[in-house]
Structures are given as structure tokens and as C-alpha cells.
Structure 1
Amino acid sequence: MRRFAFPILLSLLAAGAAHAQPVNVPVLVPLTGFLSLEGTSQRNGALLALKQAPAGLTVAADVVDTGTSPEAAVTALERAAGKPVTAVVASMLGTQMLAMLPLAKDYGLPLVTVSGTASITEQGNPWVFRFFPGDAVTKAAHARYVVEDLGRKRPAVIYQTTAYGQGGKAQLMEQFQKLGATPVFEEGVDTSAKDLLPVITKALAANPDVLVLHLHSAPTALFIRQAAAHGVGVPIVAGSAMHQPSTAALLEPAELKGVCAETAASPVSGGSPEVEAFTAAYRGAFNAEPDAFALAQYDGVRMVLDAAAKGARTAEQVRDALAKGTHKGLAMTYASDGKGNMAHSAVIVCYDGKTRVPALVKRYDSLTGAVK
């Protein structure tokens, strides 16, 4: 693991708060490996929120690269638990989250994450809080857009063989069945695959009317590049990895023409003065474009900091505030469904082939009914 020091975050001291108990929020995320693009966005969103902590709070934060192994994530959490912890920004990688959950319960540490893996909030663990809409939300929007808006009923589903990919694929199949659509092809893709033309060829041989992707960032870009190079005319509706500016940057605008994707939000697409201010601040801090993972992690850490500003300083007090409270974030309004799922809305974005910035074309609010 690599440890990253951000001195500016280790001493954010407001007037009159010199002796206040610090709000300690370790950031334990994947910064290397196949999830490095997503993990970097997660880290940046957390750091921006910590930098903008409410007046009166002393904030401490160590950043640790968890890589992609469950063991590295567990080791990072064990080390973080050696100090008083307010909450933990926990890895977005599903296998790492599943490994961290038992330890978080033993130590009593709230895990604030943007992992989309459905099963992390199905373990009966009261210490996990997911601020990115889980697969039950995003795949409902994903499938509904394919069937209801595009009118497609013969999807080919290509998914990652990771826990994230398997969970998303299961949700997609369930949603398509509810909507009366029958997938004509399904195949898992390993994150190490360097050529996706064989799976594209097999998928097209099944005569689908839409290609539905649930892949990580780099495989998504590879699939779309190869599909464009071979003149695939079937619409592509991808998973949330596609909305990331870092993913779009791997492709030419023309290669993106007609590609759509589900996600929680698209800050680069604008939508409100608050989101635009966040995007400007993010660009200034990191010289990069923010995505939905960054915005969701920002919102999650802001909810933790707001709770701390109102007096919740211990891990248990923060857990109770997250479990019982409501937070109006930049992407959406967050509230727990009783399992730690905080996000209940999703959007669809599409590319016009002229720019790498997608347009917001559809919004689905309160898909679980948890937020009225």
C-alpha cells in the first residue's frame, strides 16, 4: 500500500477550536490497479469536502492506497483503527468493502463509500453507508431507459467478472424480466482482457437491438473504441463508468456518438449553480474533471461533517446521524433505507459525437421510495 500525505488537511483549524476533538476521517481507497481512475475520483471528492469543512471543526485525514486486494483494504482499516476515528471513506471496490465490513462492525467504524456492489448493504451491518446509488437503483434506471425510452427488447448484456459486475448483471436481468425484455446474449469479461472484439462479434451474432454494458472504466472505453472501429450500428447503453470524464478522455468524441450511460450525476454537464461551483472548485484543486463518484463521495463526507458540526463526534454518534438523518446534497437528497443505502436517484447521459461532455437526458428520482 502507498500512503499519501495531504498536510493541508491535517490541520484545518478554525478560530476558537484549537482544543476541539478532531474529526478524523481516514480515506482508504484504490489509487492503483484496474480501479485507479474511479478510486482517484473517490479520493478527490472526499478531500474537497474535508477542505471545505464547516467552521469550528478541526479535521484530520490520512489517505491510503488500498490497491485492489481485500487484504490491503483490511490492513489499511486495521491501521486506521489505531486512532480515534469519526468515520472512514471506504473503498469503492466491492470485494474490498465486503472484506472490511466485519472489521468495521468489530471496531464500530462508520464506512462511507460509493461502491455500487449490491451485496454490501445486504449483510445486516449497521456501520456501512453507501452514497452512490446501488445496483438496485442504477440498473432499474439502466433497464427502464433501454426498454421504455429506446423501445429495445433484445439486449445483449456484457458485464465484468468482478463482484461489481456480477451484482450489476443480476440486477439487470431482474429488471429486464420485469419490463418484458429478453436478453439474447450475456457474457462476462475479465478486467485483464486486452481485446473485446471477440465478445462484440459473438454478441452481434445473437442479433440484439441494443448492447448493454456493465463494465469498469478501461474495459468500457476499450469496448466502445472497438465497436466504433468496426462500425457497430447497434445502440450502446453503458454503466456508470462511461460517464466519467477520465473514461471519455480515452476516446475520440466521434467514437462516443450515440453512446448513453446510467450514473448518479454528471457534474461536468452542469444542472445547478451549486454543482457548477463544485465543478469549478474540483478543477482548481485537482486540475481534473469531476465525475459522479467524486460528487457522491463529496456529498457523503459533507453529511459526516455536518453531523460533526452539530455535535456528533464519536463514531457511534456519526453512525446514528447517518442512519436517521436526511442530507440535501448536490447530486440528490440522501437518507438511509434502513440498510445503509443513502442514494435513491439516477440519471441517463448521452454523447452527441461532437464533445466528450454528455447531456443529461433522463432523471429517475426516488426509485426505491425511500426519499419522498
Structure 2
Amino acid sequence: MKLQHTAAALALLAAFGAQAQDTLVKIGHSGPLSGSQAFSGKDNESGARLAVEELNAKPITVAGKKLKFELLSEDDQGDPKAGMAAAQKLIDKGVRFVVGPYNSGVAIPASRAYNDAGALVATVATNPKLTQQGYQGLYRVNASDTQLGSKMALYAAKELKFKTVAVIDDRTAFGQGVAEEFKKSAKAAGMNVVGHEFTNDKAFDFTAILTKLKTKKVEAIFFGGYAPQAAPMARQMKQLGINAKLLGGDTICTAEMGKLGGDAVGDNVLCSQGGAILDKASAGQAFKAKFKARFKQDADVYAAAYYDATMLYAQAMQKANSTDPAKVQPVISAGSYQGVAGTYAFDAKGDMKQSPVTIFTFKAGQPVALTSY
């Protein structure tokens, strides 16, 4: 009887030993999981979760040990103050690899805390100021406002042949940044910017601003802001009989825009999003199918980028043969990773060397790609 007990105890110890030999890698996610932008935060989180689940299903080995990935997610509410608290929570839990924050207004202050803690950050936040801070472990896995705003302006000038446009921005770090880039490029492309109005990211009534712009007979209004404001803006443009197109950046390139805007959102809305057309990317269709099977809904704007960012970390750990961020960082900075949404290779600032931009419109409430350049 004793022998059986000893054998069982040894087997148990061996099992514990095997588990103890695994190296735990915590991936932190920071994004708006509550409030009006929660649809984006949850979509991003799901992209990272899918990658973590796949990595754990066929474990990779680093320095002779299997890696076990764990996703720790914090709600930063899309708010700079809450974002700093979320960053501190993740740092305190030992997270040294972060995907997010989603909002530029959160990413800019939080990136300092992550940098000071020696954590690496992969974000889709687009404000150019983010990567001008000089943090070596900070990567933008998407086009910046410079690219999103300027490509939208070029499309409006060259393809739509518009001459008279106006700008509205919501005063967030993202909205302001992308609106300024659009304005700059619109003027350079020969368009006349006849107005620049301001609102905020909690507003829902834009009648006064739109009435003012209606008198200027604009052909398009570029809105620097998010879908929860852009959708009622589209409805109010329709009610006021403004036939101008509503243009925007990646944050209005979402199914939520169609859902909130209803019949006021169609081919009158155009938006620019970082990355090539996912349907045309070789791994794009497979990713979309996997995502839908796992989460019972379609992948939205940046699910693929968050999936890619998580996989990028894992591949760099394999190449560095280490899970130490100080050893993983130079591998990411010097290397190139082929992901679902594109090829990730970074310049000295941490911006992507090449990030195509896709212009979308809406059909039956869904964003539909028109062209990439």
C-alpha cells in the first residue's frame, strides 16, 4: 500500500515539476471596455485573446521551457486618468508586454509609465506625438494620423474632385491630430478649407455647428473623432438637408457607425483605416473565419492588429530565446514580422516603415473597402 502511495506522490510531483518548468508570460491589454467605445475595446481584446489561446494550444519553447501566455485586461475607459491607473495595475501584476492603449489621449501619458517599468508597448493609437517621445520599446502597429488624415484628403481631392471642405474635431488627442493632418494635406492638394469647428467626445447634438457649415456650401466635412459622435452627426446632416460627404479616420470605419447611424450612413460616409484590405490579405479570410467561430461576431477594425501584435511578441521571444523585454525589444526593432494585417517592420521611432491605408464607405451598415494606397 505504501508503495502505491509513494508512486502516486512521485507522479504528482512530476506533474507539478512539469508545470513549474513552464514560463508564464503575461500579456497586458488596456482599452475602453466600458462606455460608448466599449465595442472597440472588446474587439481589440478578443484579437489578443485569440492569439493567446492559439499560442497556448501549440506551445512555443524559449530557453528550453514551454511558454504559457496569460491575458490580463484592464478597462481604461478611453480616459487618460483611468488609463494611468490601468497601466499601474498591469505593471504591478508583472506585465511587461502590452497591447494597447487604443486611444491616443490614453496612450501618450501611459506610455511613460510603461517605459519606466521596462515594459514593451504595441498600440494602434495614431497621434504622431506618441512616437516622438523617444521610447525604444514603443511600437505603433498601424498607420499614424499623418497617413490617415493625409490619404483621406488626397482621396477627396484626386478621386472625388472636391474643392470646398470643412473640418470638425472633438478636441481629443486623436481627433485633433487627425483633423490637423487632413486640413494640412487638403490645403496642399488645392482644396479650400472653409471652416474648422470644435466639439467634444461626449456631445450628441451638432445642429449649431452643421447649420453654420451648411451656409458655406461644403462638399465634404471631415470629422476628427469617434463613431458614437460621427453617427448622430450623419443623422443630423441628413435632417438639415446637407448633401456633403462625411469623412473621417479609422475610428468611424466600424460596424458600430452603421448600427448607430442607420439609414443616414451609406455611401455618403468615407473613412480611412490603416492596413491593407483584410479580405485580400492571404491570411485575412482565415483570420476572420477563426475570429467569428470563437467570438460569434465579425472582427472589427483592429482585432487583426491586436492579434498580430501578440504574435509579434511571441515570435520575437523565440528569436531572442528570452522573455526578458530588454532582450526582446532589439529583436522587434531590427526585425520584420509577417502578420494577418500586414508586415510589421519599424523605423527608429517605432512607426511602421510601410503602412498602407484603405479607404472605406458603407453598404447595408457595414464598412466596405474601396481602395488601398
Give the TM bin, normalised by the shorter chain.
0.7 to 0.9
Q: Give the drift of 1:51.
A: 1.6
For residue 220 of structure 1, the aligned residue among 214, 225, 230 is 230
For residue 240 of structure 1, the aligned residue among 250, 265, 273 is 250
Tell me the equivalent position of 2:344: 334
Residue 59 of structure 2 aligns with an amino acid whose one-letter code is A
Tell me the equivalent position of 1:165: 175
For residue 25 of structure 2, the aligned residue among 9, 23, 26 is 23
Whether contact under 8 Å (1:26, 1:89) holds in the other structure is yes
Q: Give the drift of 1:17.
A: 7.7
Tell me the equivalent position of 1:55: 59
Change (3 A) 1:75 1:254: closer
Tell me the equivalent position of 1:317: 327
Is residue 2:309 matched to residue 1:305? no
Tell me the equivalent position of 1:42: 44
Change (3 A) 1:253 1:285: farther
In structure 2, runs of 5+ residues without a counterpart are 1-17, 61-66
Structure 2 CA distance, aligned partners of 1:255 and 1:230? 15
Which has more helix, going by share of residues? 2
Whether contact under 8 Å (2:179, 2:222) holds in the other structure is no
Structure 2 CA distance, aligned partners of 1:29 and 1:150? 35
Tell me the equivalent position of 2:362: 351
Residue 174 of structure 1 aligns with an amino acid whose one-letter code is K
Larger Rg: 2
**Per-residue CA shift, 1:20-59, capped at 9, x if unaligned?**
3222111122211343222222212111121222532311
Structure 1 CA distance, aligned partners of 2:184 and 2:70? 43
Residue 159 of structure 1 aligns with an amino acid whose one-letter code is D
Is residue 2:291 matched to residue 1:287? no
Structure 2 CA distance, aligned partners of 1:123 and 1:154? 35
In structure 1, runs of 5+ residues without a counterpart are 1-15, 365-372
Whether contact under 8 Å (1:245, 1:289) holds in the other structure is no
3-state DSSP of counterpart to 1:24? strand
Q: CA RMSD in A?
A: 2.1
Q: Give the drift of 1:227.
A: 1.8
Whether contact under 8 Å (2:359, 2:369) holds in the other structure is yes
Structure 2 CA distance, aligned partners of 1:127 and 1:35? 27
Whether contact under 8 Å (1:32, 1:65) holds in the other structure is yes
Give the structure-1-normalised TM-score: 0.86
The farther-off stretch of 324-333 and 52-61 is: 52-61
**Per-residue CA shift, 1:84-107, capped at 9, x if unaligned?**
434112311222212212222211
Change (3 A) 1:313 1:140: same
Tell me the equivalent position of 1:9: none
Q: Give the drift of 1:189.
A: 1.5
**Per-residue CA shift, 1:60-85, capped at 9, x if unaligned?**
22111112332322222223223443
Is residue 2:142 matched to residue 1:138? no
- Runs of 4+ in structure 1 deviating by more than 6 angstroms, as ranges, are none
Change (3 A) 1:183 1:136: same
Tell me the equivalent position of 1:4: none
Query: Percent of aligned pairs with the same residue?
Result: 23
Structure 1 CA distance, aligned partners of 2:369 and 2:89? 41
Residue 347 of structure 1 aligns with an amino acid whose one-letter code is T
Residue 52 of structure 1 aligns with an amino acid whose one-letter code is E
Change (3 A) 1:237 1:75: closer
- Aligned residues, how many? 346
Residue 270 of structure 1 aligns with an amino acid whose one-letter code is D
Whether contact under 8 Å (2:206, 2:236) holds in the other structure is yes
Give the structure-2-normalised TM-score: 0.86
3-state DSSP of counterpart to 1:351? strand
